[in-house]
Amino acid sequence: MEKSPTFKQILRDNIDKLTAAAGWPEVKYQIEYPPSPEMGDHSCNVAMVLARALKKNPLEIAGEIRGRLAPLLAGAIEKIEAVRPGFLNFYLTEKFLGGEIKKILAEQENFGRRTAEKKLKIQVEFISANPTGPLTLANARGGFSGDVLANVLDLAGHEVFREYYVNDFGEQIRRLGHSILKDEEAQYRGDYIDELADRLPAAMAEKKDAGQIGPWAAEIILREYIKPAVAMIGIKFDNFFSEKQLHADGETDRMLEYLKEKGLAYRQDGAWWLKTAAGEEGDDKDRVLVKTNGDKTYFLSDIAYHWDKFHRRDFDKSINFWGADHHGYVPRLKSAMSFLGCPGRVEILLMQMMRLVEGGREIKMSKRQGIYVLLTDLVKEVGLDVTRFFFLMHANNKAMDFDLQLAREKSSKNPVYYVQYAHARICSILKKIEELKIRESGESGAMHPTEKKLAAELIRWPELVEEVAENYEVQKICFYAVSLADKFHDFYEKCPVIENGGADKFRLELIKAGLQVLKNCLACLGVSAPERM
């Protein structure tokens, strides 16, 4: 079903038509939300951007645009202000807001779902932790962010595929085998290593072949530790893609031969190298594909894996979530993709480090491990809703602290509780109306400022979906949820829905719309929407 345009879309379309008709150059400009309602519901800097190209006063251009836009937006806009240094501020009419509230009630769970201008087949690859141990907090940021970005891209109208790339081949798997043997090459430690050592088949234990034991243990870790943890944190992958299978199917060998045939790989000092320094991304040096001892590198596997993404499974785009320690790997992979005819189709989001803190001090919570904190342990401690929300409300490109003390709070100080309480409060009002059989009364007249603020906030949800689908800043959904809860709690204190034995018609519609948008927003975040707290 074709979705009606958001106000931001309507505004942008009209500005673009107006500037084209005036013969002005095409420019990139922003439509944003002003910091306070007194400054309007939307704000645009197009006049200031045009001023540079037209060499005119931006306030003068803003005034000219205002005069031409006003008749085009009649009915939706109460007024347009041109303010220094050249901003255009737009104030929505109560009639327009009321119509949008009815749209929310009509579309229900589909409110926020968009029709993409160009529908893409997008693969989101995230978590992808090596199957050498259980999932830890280090894996959580990319896990939750990848899951929610996939939700957003789906809402934005794209075809989305969630994938976990299993690095079950190579040196780290051999090191896992050595760890279970507890020999001088052991690297991994913990109770899970002891448990696997106890389960080691007698034949393997006698042979002491780390190259055989490692893959055996990796399969168990994936099946019994990683997949159950993934399910526990509410993530459903469409596929677990095995690196080992890539090698077994001969895909890495075929990729190496392809690169040789294209003159992109060369032999030097007994190793095979890829000419990544010549790639479009400007890697600082060429990279090894096959070592002098004949071992294939992870880089060759990754190239073969991405070839499979684009040339076998026909994804238009792949979005990969990686740890920040892989930042040096980004240009080499993008260079390789440019060689394969896929420039710009891989996007890599780097997850910065996080700490678990309490009272301002970093803590270690896992009694079993004593080295790192298991993700499942944190979920058991504070709950899945809190865990997801707390990780998601921080921008991925910045380091974060997970405040355990705040996470345990069951008060308005805790942002998850604050948002969920708004949902539960609305459910309580609606339940009271139903139980007492309270009838609708007339409308209270002109909108109270808190009604207008709440209505304006509600209709921003589809705009936010489109924005996050473009910039991948999933933390903005958490900010929106808190802002929406703010607007509702303020409205609740000042505008009674039930008064003089009746339920105000518009306010009843408003809270029903609020309930729906909160539910849609929380569903996108993978957080529950409780009816009572």
CATH of the structural domain 126-245+352-408, one choice from 3.40.50.620, 3.40.50.1100, 1.10.10.10, 3.40.50.300: 3.40.50.620
Instruction: Give pLDDT, residue 388.
Output: 97
Q: What mean pLDDT comes out for the span 511-515?
A: 98
Alpha helices in 156-233 (DSSP H): 171-181, 191-199, 202-207, 210-221, 227-232
Instruction: Give pLDDT, residue 139.
Output: 87
Secondary element (H or E) of residue 446: none
Asked if 465 contacts 312 with a C-beta cutoff of 8 angstroms, the reply is no
Query: Can you tell me the distance from the alpha carbon of 104 to that of 106, in angstroms, rounded to the nearest whole number?
Result: 5
Q: Is the pLDDT of residue 113 over 60?
A: yes
Residue 368's pLDDT band (boundaries 50, 70, 90)? very low
Percentage, residues of the chain above pLDDT 90 = 88
Instruction: Give pLDDT, residue 441.
Output: 84
Least-confidence region, from 370-384, 462-476, 515-529:
370-384
Residue 251 corresponds to which tokens in the numbers above?
A: 């895909």
Which residue would you say has higher pLDDT here, 369 or 80? Answer: 80
Q: Over the stretch 222-279, which tens digit does the pLDDT of each residue have? A: 999 999 999 999 999 999 999 999 999 999 999 999 999 999 999 999 999 999 988 6
Which residue would you say has higher pLDDT here, 507 or 2? Answer: 507
Residue 203 corresponds to which tokens in the numbers above?
A: 């034949």
Asked if 451 contacts 509 with a C-beta cutoff of 8 angstroms, the reply is no
Asked if 458 contacts 101 with a C-beta cutoff of 8 angstroms, the reply is yes
- DSSP reduced 3-state for 348: strand
Residue 146's pLDDT band (boundaries 50, 70, 90)? very high
Instruction: Give pLDDT, residue 286.
Output: 93
Q: What mean pLDDT comes out for the span 52-75?
A: 94
Q: What mean pLDDT comes out for the span 411-416?
A: 96
Secondary element (H or E) of residue 319: strand 317-323
As a residue count, the chain comes to 533
Q: Tell me, rounded to whole angstroms, the distance of Cα 38 from its chain centroid.
A: 31
Residue 356's pLDDT band (boundaries 50, 70, 90)? very high
Residue 340 corresponds to which tokens in the numbers above?
A: 């394969």
Instruction: Give pLDDT, residue 363.
Output: 80
The overall longest dimension of the chain from CA atoms, in Å, is 89
Q: Over the stretch 219-228, which tens digit does the pLDDT of each residue have? A: 999 999 999 9
Which residue would you say has higher pLDDT here, 128 or 499? Answer: 128
Fold classified for 415-525:
Isoleucyl-tRNA Synthetase; Domain 1 (1.10.730)
Q: What mean pLDDT comes out for the span 464-480?
A: 98
Secondary element (H or E) of residue 189: none
Place of tokens 């990729």: 255
Q: 18: closest CA among 55, 44, 52?
A: 44
In angstroms, what is the C-alpha Rg of the chain?
28
Instruction: Give pLDDT, residue 523.
Output: 98
Q: 351: closest CA among 482, 472, 522?
A: 472
Q: What mean pLDDT comes out for the span 138-161?
A: 96
Alpha helices in 36-139 (DSSP H): 46-54, 58-72, 94-107
| CB neighbour class for 239 (10 Å; exposed up to 12, middle 13-18, buried from 19) | middle
Instruction: Give pLDDT, residue 283.
Output: 76
Instruction: Output the DSSP codes for 385-398.
Output: HHHHHHHHTS-TTS
Q: Over the stretch 278-310, which tens digit does the pLDDT of each residue have? A: 866 667 899 999 999 999 999 999 999 999 999
Burial annotation 93-120 (CB, 10 A radius, 16+ → b, else e): beebbbebbeebeebeeebbbbeeeeee
Quick one: residue 337, left, alpha or beta (phi over 0 = left, psi -120 to 50 = alpha)? alpha
CATH 1.10.730.10 segments of the chain: 415-525
CATH 3.40.50.620 segments of the chain: 126-245+352-408
Which residues, listed in sequence order, are joined to residue 121 by a DSSP beta bridge? 159
Q: Is the pLDDT of residue 367 over 50?
A: no
Q: Over the stretch 19-60, which tens digit does the pLDDT of each residue have? A: 999 999 999 999 999 998 899 999 999 999 999 999 999 999
Q: 354: closest CA among 81, 35, 141, 82?
A: 141
| CB neighbour class for 263 (10 Å; exposed up to 12, middle 13-18, buried from 19) | exposed
Residue 63's pLDDT band (boundaries 50, 70, 90)? very high
CATH 3.30.1360.70 segments of the chain: 7-92
Number of Cβ within 10 Å of residue 236's Cβ equals: 9
Superfamily of domain 7-92: Arginyl tRNA synthetase N-terminal domain (3.30.1360.70)
Residue 442's pLDDT band (boundaries 50, 70, 90)? confident
Beta strands in 116-180 (DSSP E): 121-125, 159-166
